[in-house]
Amino acid sequence: MSHPSAGFFYAPTRSSTAVAPSGYRYNARMGMFPATGRIEVVDDVIARILAAKTPAERVAMIGDAHDTARALVAAGTRLRHPSWTESEIAADVARRMLGDAT
């Protein structure tokens, strides 16, 4: 079993068996990372832009990314389960995003 797209990182649940796509390794603590052991770094220009932001702006960026992730998870759930109510979709999104915490 491998992830359909080697360009994305796969974070299996605790109960699943992780198989890394070609060119990647899986570590139970760290998740999946390039087999080269090299972790990509932020471009210098992006680093300067982020460094110039205030802490409040950076927190807002994190909130926006979280909102986007929730919207994408909800859209996927709607696509897979068109008959589900918004309440069922919200419960599934929470379960998927919180994992074992729910």
Q: How far apart are the C-alpha atoms of 63 and 77, rounded to whole Å?
A: 21
58 in the same domain as 90: yes
62 in the same domain as 86: yes
49 in the same domain as 12: no
51 in the same domain as 85: yes
pLDDT value of position 88:
97
Q: Which residue has the tokens 């992780």?
A: 18
Query: Which residues of the chain, if any, have pLDDT below 70?
Result: 1-39, 100-102
Single pTM value for the model: 0.56
Buried b (16+ CB within 10 A) or exposed e, 55-84: eeeeeeeeeeeeeeeeeebbeebeeeeeee
87 in the same domain as 53: yes
Its domain, for residue 58, covers 44-101
Bridge partner list, 34: 24
34 in the same domain as 19: yes
- How many domains, the chain? 2
70 in the same domain as 32: no
23-35 pLDDT tens trace: 666 666 656 666 6
